[in-house]
């Protein structure tokens, strides 16, 4: 994996859905990877090493606390820097989050599932949904601020438990996901977005009012559209062709996936204001899909809906 060359930010709340069967909460954490700074026992209690086999169980913990997925490489000094900071944050937050370290060289499939193209890459999982955080090393203060923001997003979605007080055990009593939702969830973890989309579409065919399936489908379709995309090429095309609807739609997708929510919304609203007919309708529908991904309760969606109405009328 290469070193990154573009900025990152935390993504919005993504209509997060619940995960269940938190028996993995009782599993003992392993030591941090060799690239991490040696830490105290308190930190090690909330820092684990993840493999492809254990990853689905770790994701289930995201119904109780945010799971920070730290994709690192022993070849990367920057990875060691970020890992050390995350370990310190885990200790300081006392069980309010879990750091899951992933050796991207040993388990590239996990890195690919998060669309990581460089190390270090850090993402979070909240209620089974990915939240991109970093794709490069940044100062400790910035990581601290990002995690503070993540904790607010998690709390707003009902994820405010602790690994220290056994709060996760009560979550074991929750009902499992509906079969088609579980099928889609498993496919997302495996990186099979086509299968995930098919499962969500089937769920909507059976229950057209299934809001979680609708939001899940919108998110998976975003992943499908961006799969294999060259970020630099996408941004260059959008800059060179401001009236090209396809180019603007793709860069809006890229903005949203990187957490630049307002940039994505504003781009499409401006495009709606200067298009008509079929093109305008395509852009409007894409914007509504992005609203589904972010979630109707997000204030950025509320603001953008008002701006959309003004652009249309």
User: Does the residue 99 lie in any domain?
Assistant: yes
Q: What is the pLDDT of residue 189?
A: 67
Pair (83, 188) in one structural domain = no
Q: What is the pLDDT of residue 60?
A: 82
- Provide the token pair at 54: 């254990």
Pair (253, 138) in one structural domain = no
User: Does the residue 8 lie in any domain?
Assistant: no
CATH number, domain of 31, equals 3.40.30.10
Under 8 Å between Cβ of 134 and 104: no
Q: What is the pLDDT of residue 176?
A: 67
Pair (210, 248) in one structural domain = no
Pair (185, 162) in one structural domain = no
| 173 secondary structure, DSSP code | G
Pair (139, 244) in one structural domain = no
Pair (47, 95) in one structural domain = yes
Range of the domain at 140: 23-172
Pair (92, 221) in one structural domain = no
Pair (243, 277) in one structural domain = yes
User: Does the residue 302 lie in any domain?
Assistant: yes
Pair (64, 76) in one structural domain = yes
pLDDT tens for each residue of 62-74: 889 999 999 998 8
Pair (187, 241) in one structural domain = no
CATH number, domain of 284, equals 1.25.40
The rounded distance, in Å, linking the Cα atoms of 220 and 112 is 14
Q: What is the pLDDT of residue 27?
A: 31
Pair (36, 114) in one structural domain = yes
User: Does the residue 17 lie in any domain?
Assistant: no
pLDDT by 10s per residue, the chain, length 313 = 543 333 333 333 333 332 222 222 223 333 333 333 334 444 457 888 888 778 887 888 888 999 999 999 888 888 888 998 998 899 899 899 999 999 888 888 888 888 888 899 999 999 888 889 999 999 999 999 999 999 998 988 889 898 875 544 433 344 467 899 889 888 876 778 899 999 999 999 999 999 889 988 998 898 889 888 888 899 999 999 999 999 999 999 988 877 788 999 999 999 999 999 999 999 999 999 999 888 877 888 999 999 999 998 8
Question: Which of 75-79's residues contact partners 24+ apart within 8 Å by CB, and which partners?
Answer: 75/105, 76/3, 76/35, 76/119, 76/120, 78/3, 78/119, 78/120, 78/136, 78/137, 79/35, 79/119, 79/120, 79/137
């Amino acid at each position: 994996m290469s070193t990154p060359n573009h900025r990152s930010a935390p993504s919005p709340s993504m209509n997060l859905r619940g995960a269940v069967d938190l028996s993995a909460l009782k599993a003992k954490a392993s030591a941090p990877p060799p690239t991490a700074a040696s830490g105290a026992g308190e930190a090690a209690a909330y820092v684990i090493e993840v493999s492809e086999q254990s990853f689905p169980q770790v994701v289930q913990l995201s119904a109780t606390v945010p799971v920070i997925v730290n994709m690192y490489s022993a070849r990367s000094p920057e990875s060691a820097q970020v890992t050390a900071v995350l370990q310190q944050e885990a200790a300081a937050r006392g069980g309010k989050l879990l750091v899951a370290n992933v050796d991207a060289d040993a388990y590239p499939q996990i890195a690919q599932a998060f669309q990581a193209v460089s190390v270090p890459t850090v993402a979070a999982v909240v209620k089974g949904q990915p939240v991109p955080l970093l794709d490069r090393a940044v100062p400790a203060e910035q990581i601290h601020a990002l995690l503070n923001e993540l904790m607010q997003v998690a709390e707003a979605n009902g994820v405010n438990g602790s690994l220290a007080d056994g709060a996760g055990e009560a979550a074991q009593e929750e009902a499992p996901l509906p079969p088609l939702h579980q099928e889609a969830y498993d496919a997302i973890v495996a990186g099979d977005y086509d299968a995930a989309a098919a499962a969500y579409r089937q769920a909507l065919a059976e229950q057209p009012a299934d809001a979680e399936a609708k939001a899940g489908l919108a998110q998976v379709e975003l992943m499908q559209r961006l799969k294999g995309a060259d970020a630099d090429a996408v941004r260059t095309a959008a800059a060179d062709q401001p009236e090209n609807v396809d180019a603007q739609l793709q860069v809006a997708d890229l903005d949203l996936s990187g957490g630049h929510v307002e940039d994505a919304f504003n781009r499409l609203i401006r495009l709606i204001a200067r298009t008509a007919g079929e093109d305008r309708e395509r852009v409007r529908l894409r914007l509504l899909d992005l609203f589904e991904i972010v979630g109707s309760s997000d204030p950025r969606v509320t603001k953008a809906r008002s701006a959309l109405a003004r652009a249309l009328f």
